[in-house]
Amino acid sequence: MYLGDTEVFRTSTAEPTAAGIVWSYIKDMSPYNALWNEPQKLIFDLGNQITDIYNGSFTATLTATFSHSGNVKTADVIMPISGQKSDSNSPSAFTVPSDNTTVQYKIPSSASRAVVSISACGQSTEEFWWSNVFSSDTKTFSGTLSGYSPFREVQLYIDGVLAGVAWPFPIIFTGGVTPVFWRPVVGIDAFDLRQPEIDISPFLPLITDGQDHSFEIKVVGLDLSADGSATLSKSVGSNWVVTGNIFIYLDGNDVSSSSRAIRDSSRVPVLDAAAPKISVSRNLNQNSAKKNESLSYSILVERTLTIKSSDISWSQNLSYSNHNLLNQQGLDQVTHQSTSGVNTVTQNGQSSHVSFEYPLTVITTTHSAADESTIDAQMKRGLTIETTNVTGISTYTMSAGPSFLRNRQWGNAHYISKADGNSTSFGDTTTTLECEAEGKPYSRNVRAVNGSIAHDIPGVPSQPSQAVL
């Protein structure tokens, strides 16, 4: 969903059933108050595939509710990092790597704080990027695997200088891994994709000079060298859907660009953004017939980044690990991945932190015979976010002030496809949620079994069974 050229909501669809699908979602749009204050062209783009088999249509109803209560300070100006196609009534998302994502803006001289939010998710060969192999291994088994490794980094550049990164949450849309996981529940965040934030306030002394400055978003993976070492790739597969928003807070003291340049000449930011530390291992096994039987690979990545001006700093401390095993000539796969980090803003001796953790385990086992094929899958994943404070209403935590979120999801699925065209499936998925925002706690435990809700209980979430994985 876009207001003009600005993306304000990224969502997806529910898993279809024979009885049809109906779903609703409520989202706080307060971070975009600066846009709601003026007339906007609203563009809602929810693609649909129509074929001889998939022939359903849908209707979307959007309702906006406005309130003066509970108002929180929000950005005064919002500038989109997007394709800016609203004049042609089109969505403005970039498609990476094919599109040039660079935009140019003059930043108001009275800007006192600036935060960039980034929307990015993989599609096509990048939808399950966390299970990808190194590009040199894409032909290891029959068929073609997706490459550039299972690591992804979304980068923000200002005037060609790295300003911060986002390590994406592994979204699994409905239908992902096996469809029976997602009836009638959906994967974590699938109905509302979070937008990680990068505080670019340390750059304000440089970019509030009245001149145009460039903002660019890149998505990279890893390339494996002949000596077994890995470096950040120059590109990724097809494709990532990407936009960004620059949220600017004004101090009300507009000054000329020349005065700003003189005042800020001693406040040029200092950057410490060394290349990430990357370690990898890889092992390919063959059977007695010299045919590739299994491929295992592990990746560890650590990155630290700090950008300081005289009165504010932005720092990131990130850690990633991934262990993948493909066996039975690529038919089975085991993925264990963990992403964690802390982003910190320090101003006038006061620091605010946003910490996160994304654990993920997915196991798929495939058996094929003349009359039928089966897929057994197991899944365990999570999303934990804790913050001491944020500027305005965060597009990442989706709240203002200190907050805590712990979301967990686990399940088993079994799918049988028969040669006569019939198929059967079974799924059992549990989702738990614990959160606290604005001093209000909330928790919920929902279990769906074979397409129906087995229980939906508010209260303390249960722990996953040790037998799940």
Are 32 and 8 a contacting pair, CB within 8 Å? yes
Q: What is the pLDDT of residue 72?
A: 83
Rounded Cα–Cα distance for residues 399 and 194 (Å) = 12
pLDDT 10s digits, 297-319: 999 999 999 999 988 999 999 99
Residue 281 C-alpha from the chain's centroid: 26
User: Letter for the amino acid at 323?
Assistant: H
Lowest mean pLDDT among 59-63, 88-92, 138-142, 169-173: 59-63
Backbone φ and ψ for 124, nearest 5 degrees, come out as 55, -125
Rounded Cα–Cα distance for residues 420 and 404 (Å) = 50
CA separation, residue 169 to residues 119, 422, 431 (Å): 11, 35, 17
Closest CA to 450 of 220, 57, 180: 180
Lowest mean pLDDT among 5-14, 113-122, 254-263: 254-263
Query: Domain spans of the chain?
Result: 2-253+261-458
Lowest mean pLDDT among 237-246, 384-393, 448-457: 384-393
Q: What is the value of pTM for the model shown?
A: 0.93
Question: Cis peptide leading into 97, omega within 30 of 0?
Answer: yes
Rounded Cα–Cα distance for residues 376 and 432 (Å) = 23
Residues 181, 186, 189, 190, CA torsion sign: positive
Rounded Cα–Cα distance for residues 413 and 422 (Å) = 17
Rounded Cα–Cα distance for residues 160 and 101 (Å) = 12
Lowest mean pLDDT among 259-263, 339-343, 407-411: 259-263
Rounded Cα–Cα distance for residues 198 and 110 (Å) = 20
Rounded Cα–Cα distance for residues 376 and 392 (Å) = 44
Other beta carbons within 10 Å of 453: 11
Q: What is the pLDDT of residue 172?
A: 98
Are 146 and 297 a contacting pair, CB within 8 Å? no
Other beta carbons within 10 Å of 398: 20
User: Letter for the amino acid at 263?
Assistant: R
Rounded Cα–Cα distance for residues 75 and 247 (Å) = 5
Other beta carbons within 10 Å of 321: 16
> Residue 281: pLDDT above 70?
yes
Residue 245 C-alpha from the chain's centroid: 15
User: Letter for the amino acid at 341?
Assistant: G
